[in-house]
């Protein structure tokens, strides 16, 4: 955990719960693997619905020597996020809601 490691949150949200879950599990199949990196999720976010939008979340944990932004960039490169889904990335998040 920060400051001794790095943490990133990927939050997917959309009006249709099935399409958000489907895209989240599609991303999970392509998730990065390694000895120094762990991808947790996808799982419904603690507040799984906000303002009519269903939310799924990934947590990515890695050691401090890994540049987490480049790992996320390679993971998401070439992935087309559907128009009805919003993808948010939070590096070293303060809040887990």
Structure confidence at residue 4 (pLDDT)? 82
* Residue carrying structure tokens 């489907």: 22
Q: What angle do CA 19, 84, 20 make, to 5 degrees?
A: 25
Would the pTM of this model clear 0.85, i.e. be above it?
yes
- Looking at the predicted structure, is the pLDDT value of residue 1 above 80? no
Q: What are φ and ψ of residue 84, in 5° steps?
A: -90, 5
Band of residue 94 on the pLDDT scale cut at 50, 70, 90: confident
Q: What is the mean pLDDT of residues 30-48?
A: 93
CATH code of 5-91, in short, is: 3.30.70.600
């Amino acid at each position: 955990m920060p400051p001794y490691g790095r943490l990133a949150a990927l939050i997917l949200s959309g009006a249709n719960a099935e399409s958000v879950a489907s895209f989240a599990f599609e991303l999970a199949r392509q998730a990065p693997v390694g000895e120094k990196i762990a991808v947790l999720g996808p799982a419904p976010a603690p507040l799984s619905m906000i303002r009519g939008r269903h939310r799924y979340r990934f947590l990515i944990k890695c050691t401090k020597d890994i540049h987490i932004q480049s790992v996320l960039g390679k993971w998401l490169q070439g992935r087309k996020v559907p128009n009805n889904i919003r993808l948010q990335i939070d590096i070293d998040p303060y809040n887990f809601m």
